[in-house]
């Protein structure tokens, strides 16, 4: 490797262990990459070189003394500008945010990484309050896809995805309320998992309620496992957090998938999918038979729950801005302002009806996973489109939910769902395979993705 910015987190840890590289050298490499590519990608809204290098120097000193704080000590990581980070502003992409702070608290996942000695590179861009599936906002502008800067990286964790894909940090923390780690992972050719709800503690509680998850975004499954091991610890501020797992994600999972029952649904029974993407995902599903799984093409058997999801999501958006003055509301992204007005009009009965339908969807998927261990689908039905638009130009609908049919259903059911790269379009844009498991089956989803990655290694944008 000629550039440490192109190393995975796992490779960095090995280099640190051998003494071939120091955390300071790694930090300098990713900061140089940000300096080189940051202006064209706009992946970061906060970069604080002094703090980053101070953290890297401290990690280098600990490693020299044999006093590391954890496996990720000295590894660069970016943090989505939704998650509180002590010492740095968390503006959530909004001109309505109070910049004065105080910024004196870490969100749970951020706190766990700080305790392990990870090196914070900066805060990554998000659409305002993470409301949509592309990344642009009124204060930071438009974030772009490193595979093609005319295209969106997706969202709402688009800055995080672009940073990982471009070598600006091997690890990133994102959030996912309707696909927000999986959509940009598919568009930028990286790996991610939205774990079971509560697996990673979350605070402050999201206005989008129990739809919102925190998730790792990385170049490899192994890197995501390292990050999960670091951030799944308990935190008393999240009353809905699951107990810490009694295993290490970095050690869990079979080498093959012999006997695993796998359902492959090309369209969930209702989605329209670009033929190129459909063919690539079908080939990826076939690869699971090479790993010993029994793969059957079958739909889970539910209709598109988009109307119920929008009730929950738009009402959550209305809650986010409920205390804003009329003047402040005038500063909002116009699309966000529009869905907030719609969300504020829903009645309690309409919200509870959507919640009841959500619970029914969860029941259906619980029974489905008694028959099938995993469900495979496309992550996205389309490739990355022109940046700066909520929907592709000429698209028949105005809302992002119309082109993300494979992601939001599994926020409603709180299941673990990963996106692993599975090919490129003829135009050279990444395609993602979604791997969904039953609630609490995070380790199985990770193991399946690792097995697939082993026999279908991915040609990353950087580093090879």
Could you read off the pLDDT of 411-440 as tens digits, one per residue? 999 999 999 999 999 999 999 999 999 999
107: annotated active-site residue: no
The answer to whether residue 24 scores a pLDDT higher than 90 is yes
Residue pLDDT, tens place only, 292-319: 999 999 999 999 999 999 999 999 999 9
Residue pLDDT, tens place only, 64-76: 999 999 999 999 9
Dihedral angle over CA of 161, 284, 305, 275, nearest 10: 90
Instruction: Please list, in sequence order, all residues whose beta carbon lies within 8 angstroms of the beta carbon of residue 126, skipping any fewer than 6 positions away.
Output: 80, 81, 82, 92, 93, 135, 137, 155, 156, 157, 158, 159
**If pLDDT is split at 50, 70 and 90, which confidence band does 19 have?**
very high
* CA pseudo-torsion sign 384, 385, 389, 394: negative
Q: Which of 80, 123, 132, 194 is catalytic?
A: 80
What is the spatial distance between Cα 240 and Cα 197, in angstroms, rounded to a whole number? 8
**Mean pLDDT score of the chain:** 96
Q: Which of 180, 250, 280, 419 is catalytic?
A: 180
DSSP letter, residue 220: S
**If pLDDT is split at 50, 70 and 90, which confidence band does 234 have?**
confident
Cα 283 to Cα 318, 377, 431, distances in angstroms: 42, 11, 12
Instruction: Please list, in sequence order, all residues whose beta carbon lies within 8 angstroms of the beta carbon of residue 274, skipping any fewer than 6 positions away.
Output: 381, 382, 383, 425
**If pLDDT is split at 50, 70 and 90, which confidence band does 233 have?**
confident
Angle between helices 275-290 and 442-455 (to 10 degrees): 100
80: annotated active-site residue: yes
Please state whether beta strands 141-142 and 261-264 pair in parallel, antiparallel, or not at all (unpaired).
Answer: unpaired
Strand arrangement of the beta sheet that strand 76-80 belongs to: 44-47, 119-124, 76-80, 171-176, 213-218, 191-194, 417-424, 430-437, 374-378, 261-264, 294-297
Which residues partner with 123 through β-bridges?
Answer: 46, 79
Chain centroid offset of residue 285 CA: 22
Cα 174 to Cα 59, 183, 184, distances in angstroms: 24, 11, 10
Where would I find the beta strands (DSSP E) of 195-277?
213-218, 261-264
Q: What is the mean pLDDT of residues 376-385?
A: 98
Q: What is the mean pLDDT of residues 243-253?
A: 88
Cβ atoms < 10 Å from Cβ of 451: 23
Q: Which CATH architecture fits 4-455?
A: Alpha-Beta Complex (3.90)
Q: What is the mean pLDDT of residues 11-35?
A: 97
180: annotated active-site residue: yes
What is the spatial distance between Cα 117 and Cα 113, in angstroms, rounded to a whole number? 6
Predicted pLDDT of residue 464:
38
Predicted pLDDT of residue 462:
77
Residues in the chain, total? 464
Domain residue ranges of the chain, discontinuous segments joined by +: 4-455
Spatial contact of 141 and 152, defined as CB atoms under 8 Å apart:
no
Which residues partner with 137 through β-bridges?
Answer: 141
Dihedral angle over CA of 211, 180, 133, 171, nearest 10: 160
The answer to whether residue 253 scores a pLDDT higher than 80 is no
**If pLDDT is split at 50, 70 and 90, which confidence band does 2 have?**
low
The answer to whether residue 1 scores a pLDDT higher than 50 is no
Question: b vs e for 287-312, b when ≥16 Cβ sit within 10 Å of the residue's Cβ?
Answer: bbeebebebeeebbebeebbebbbbb
Query: What whole-number percentage of the chain has pLDDT above 90?
Result: 96
Q: What is the mean pLDDT of residues 164-185?
A: 98
CB neighbour class for 18 (10 Å; exposed up to 12, middle 13-18, buried from 19): exposed
Query: What whole-number percentage of the chain has pLDDT above 70?
Result: 99
Predicted pLDDT of residue 252:
74
Nearest residue to 207 (alpha-carbon basis) of 39, 94, 59: 94
What is the spatial distance between Cα 319 and Cα 8, in angstroms, rounded to a whole number? 39
This prediction's pTM: 0.97
Where would I find the beta strands (DSSP E) of 268-367?
294-297
The answer to whether residue 265 scores a pLDDT higher than 60 is yes
What is the spatial distance between Cα 71 and Cα 68, in angstroms, rounded to a whole number? 8
Spatial contact of 156 and 143, defined as CB atoms under 8 Å apart:
no
* CA pseudo-torsion sign 275, 378, 462, 289: negative
What is the spatial distance between Cα 317 and Cα 172, in angstroms, rounded to a whole number? 24
Nearest residue to 48 (alpha-carbon basis) of 156, 102, 123: 123
Residue pLDDT, tens place only, 118-149: 999 999 999 999 999 999 999 999 999 999 99
The answer to whether residue 329 scores a pLDDT higher than 80 is yes
Radius of gyration of the CA atoms of the chain, in A: 21
If you search the block for the tokens 């939910």, which residue do you land on?
Answer: 401
Angle between helices 108-115 and 221-231 (to 10 degrees): 100
Q: Which of 22, 94, 156, 265 is catalytic?
A: 156
Q: Coil, strand or helix: which one is 421?
A: strand
The answer to whether residue 245 scores a pLDDT higher than 80 is yes
What is the spatial distance between Cα 402 and Cα 210, in angstroms, rounded to a whole number? 21
The answer to whether residue 101 scores a pLDDT higher than 90 is no
């Amino acid at each position: 490797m000629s550039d440490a910015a192109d190393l995975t987190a796992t490779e960095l840890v090995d280099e640190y262990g051998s003494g071939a590289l120091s955390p300071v050298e790694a930090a300098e490499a990713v900061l140089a990459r940000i300096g080189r590519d940051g202006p064209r990608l706009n992946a970061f809204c906060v970069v604080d070189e002094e703090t980053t290098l101070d953290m890297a120097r401290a990690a280098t000193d600990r490693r020299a003394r044999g006093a590391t704080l954890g496996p990720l000590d000295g590894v660069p990581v970016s943090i989505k500008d939704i998650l509180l980070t002590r010492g740095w502003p968390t503006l959530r992409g909004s001109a309505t945010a109070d910049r004065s702070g105080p910024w004196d608290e870490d969100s749970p996942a951020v706190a766990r990484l700080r305790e392990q000695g990870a090196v914070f590179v900066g805060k990554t861009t998000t659409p305002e309050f993470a409301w949509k599936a592309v990344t642009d906002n009124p204060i930071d502008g438009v974030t772009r896809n490193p595979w093609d800067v005319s295209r969106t990286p997706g969202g709402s964790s688009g800055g995080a995805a672009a940073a990982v894909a471009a070598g600006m940090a091997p690890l990133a923390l994102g959030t996912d309320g309707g696909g927000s780690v999986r959509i940009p992972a598919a568009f930028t050719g990286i790996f991610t998992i939205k774990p079971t709800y509560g697996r990673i503690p979350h605070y402050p509680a999201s206005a989008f309620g129990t739809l919102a998850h925190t998730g790792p975004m990385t170049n490899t499954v192994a890197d995501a496992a390292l990050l999960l091991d670091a951030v799944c610890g308990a935190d008393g501020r999240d009353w809905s957090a699951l107990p810490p797992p009694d295993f290490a994600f970095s050690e869990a999972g079979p080498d093959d998938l012999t006997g695993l029952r796998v359902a492959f649904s090309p369209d969930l029974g209702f989605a329209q999918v670009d033929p190129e993407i459909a063919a690539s995902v079908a080939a990826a599903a076939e690869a699971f038979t090479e790993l010993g799984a029994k793969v059957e093409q079958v739909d889970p058997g539910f209709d598109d729950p988009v109307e119920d999801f929008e009730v929950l999501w738009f009402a959550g958006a209305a809650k986010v801005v409920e205390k804003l003055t009329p003047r402040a509301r005038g500063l909002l992204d116009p699309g966000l302002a529009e869905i907030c007005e719609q969300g504020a009009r829903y009645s309690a009965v309409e919200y509870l009806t959507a919640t009841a339908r959500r619970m029914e969807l969860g029941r259906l998927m619980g029974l489905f996973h008694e028959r099938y261990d995993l469900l495979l689908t496309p992550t996205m039905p389309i490739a990355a489109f022109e940046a700066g638009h909520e929907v592709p130009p000429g698209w028949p609908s105005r809302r992002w939910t119309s082109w993300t049919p494979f992601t939001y259903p599994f926020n409603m059911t709180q299941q673990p769902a990963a996106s692993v790269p599975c090919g490129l379009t003829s135009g050279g844009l990444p395609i993602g395979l979604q791997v969904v498991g039953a609630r609490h089956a995070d380790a199985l989803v990770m193991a399946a993705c690792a097995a697939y990655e082993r026999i279908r290694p991915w040609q990353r944008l950087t580093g090879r």
